[in-house]
Amino acid sequence: MTTPSPALQTTPQPSPHDALAHEFVAFAVEAGVLRFGEFRTKAGRLSPYFFNAGLFDDGAKLGRLAEFYARRLAASGLSFDLLFGPAYKGIALAAAVAMEFARRGRNVPYAYNRKEAKDHGEGGSLVGAKMAGRVVIVDDVMSAGTSVLESVAMIEVAGAMPVGVAIALDRQERTGGEAGEGSHSAVQFVQSELGLQVCAIATLDDLLQYLAQGADPALSEYLPHVQAYRDRYGV
């Protein structure tokens, strides 16, 4: 049997949503949201790339981002009645995705939470549509799953049913600190322990595939660094 060369062994395999993911990665790079270099993550790891969804910071970029979320959710087959945006980044995301669905002919209600409950006016910590039916949580990325756990608790207390989470990028890395001591990723935890479907527009494997294809020659030098990071911390 012929042993594959190391280069072939590390080549990312195409994903089922290859075209949409590739388009999204290219958009994130162009928008300056996906950057390469050396960045310290919240877990203390040195990452060769950084994804900052807060830089989708104008109407055109946010509108296009919402289009990617809507396309991914539509393709997932997930049935839902309401979008929920956890404070703070999820608020704008859920609103934008609801607007995109309306543009596509489906009027989906959305709601979000306040960080601190309001004790006057309508009161409470939830704002927007009445929490009911099957709910999808809309957020940017998932680091430890803490935001999802908090959102699930709020949704269930309000009498609705959380069924899924939509995120922009699945980093596909183990939880834990710099040593990468975790055995699973936050996405895997949410799927296996909470029973929620996770719809990611793109994954780290999609990012590797984008770099490997040489779509942007200026970024080719980062491929071995991102692959090494995937090999060390990936799931």
Give catalytic residue positions.
118, 120
Cα distances from 18 to residues 7, 24, 62, 71, in angstroms, run 21, 10, 22, 13
Pairing of strands 46-51, 34-40: antiparallel
Q: Do residues 58 and 92 lie in contact, with contact meaning Cβ atoms separated by under 8 Å?
A: no
Query: DSSP secondary-structure letter at 138?
Result: E
Pairing of strands 82-85, 134-138: parallel
Annotate 162-191 with b (16+ C-beta within 10 A) or e (fewer): bbbbbbbbbbbbbbbeeebebebbbbbbbb
